[in-house]
Amino acid sequence: MINLTFKQMRYFEALARHGHFGRAADACAITQPALSMQIKELEAALGTPLFERSARQIRLTGFGEVFALRVRGILRSVDELEDLARSARDRLAGRLRIGVIPTVAPYLLPTIIRQLSQLYPGLDLNLRETVTPKLLQELMEGRLDTAIVALPVSEHSLTEMALFTENFVLVRAATETGKPVPSRENLREMRLLLLEEGHCFRDQALSFCDIPSTRSRELLDGSSLTTLVQMVGAGIGVTLIPEMAVPVETRSARVSVARFKEPQPARTIGMIWRKTSPLASQLHQVATVVRQSAEALYAAHAAGAGPQ
C-alpha cells in the first residue's frame, strides 16, 4: 500500500503549479530543501518520477500530469469538506479566498474589507488581484472561493450574480475640457490608450469603439489604469476608464473627464463561484456587502466633484 499524505500532495500541487522549487516553497511557507525532500519521498513512494529536472526548469512527466489532475481533485474535495463545515455555521467565519480584477480592486476593495471586517469579525480574508482568465482558472481549481469580475463569464460550472452596473468615461488632456465628446466612430481615429491584453476592460473598450482586437495601429497598451491616465496627462492620447476609478486616477493628473452620450458604454460587475460550493448561502451574504459597498462608493462620488 502506498502511503501518501495531504501535506505531500499540497507540496506537489504547489510545485506543479509554480514550476519552480523556490516559488513553491514560498507559497507553502517552508524551506526549499524541505520541499525538495518531501517531493523525493513522494516519488519514492510512488516508484516513478513526477518531474523532469534540468538546470533551468522543471516540468511534469507524463505520469506527473495525470497525477496532478487527480491530486487537484482530491485537494479540492478536501477543501469542500472544510467549506461544508463552515457552511453549517450561522455566521461567516474562517478563511474566505476572494479574487478581484485589477480594474475593481484598488477602488472597491478598501470599502469591502472594512464592511466585512465589521460585520464578521471572525472572517479571515485572503485576497487575490489578477486578470479574469487567471481568476477563473484558480476558482475552478478550488484555490479561490469566489471572484469579483465583469459579467458575463459564461462558464457553465460557475454561478454568476450581477451586483451593479457602471459607466465608462472618457479621459483626455485638460486642454480638451468643454470640447464636444467624440463619438465611437471618432474614437477609432484617435490615439486610444488601452490596458494590455488579458484585461477584460480592454476588450470592453474595443467593443464599444467597434475596433477589432487584432488591430494595433495607433493603440498604446498600459499595465494599469494609473499608467493610462498619466499618459493622457502627458498629451499622448485618450483613454476610457470605469467611473469608480475617476476620483483616484484623475486627482494627480492634468486631465479632463467627460461622459459619452446615451447609450453610454458600461459594464456589469458581479460575483462568481462554483455551483458545487457549499458556501453558496454565505457567498450571497458577501455579495450583499459588495453591492452595498459599491452603492456607498458611488454616493460618495456623487457628493464630490464627479465627471461632468
Q: Are 113 and 120 a contacting pair, CB within 8 Å? A: no
Q: What's residue 185's pLDDT?
A: 84
Query: Which pLDDT tens digit goes with each residue over 231-267?
Result: 999 999 999 999 999 999 999 899 999 999 888 999 9
> E-assigned strands of 185-305?
192-195, 219-222, 238-242, 255-258, 266-274
Neighbours of 291 (CB within 10 A): 17
pLDDT at 226 over 50: yes
- How many C-beta neighbours within 10 Å does residue 183 have? 11
Over residues 169-215, the pLDDT tens digits come to: 999 999 998 899 998 888 888 888 999 888 888 888 888 887 776 55
Percent of the chain with pLDDT over 90: 52
pLDDT digits (tens, 9 = 90+) for 78-128: 877 777 666 666 567 788 999 999 999 999 999 999 999 999 888 899 999
Mean of the pLDDT values across residues 61-72?
91
pTM higher than the cut 0.85: no
Q: Which domains does the chain have, with CATH numbers?
A: 6-84 (1.10.10.10), 88-159+273-303 (3.40.190.10), 165-266 (3.40.190.10)
Q: To 5 degrees, how large is the angle CA 308–CA 262–CA 247?
A: 30
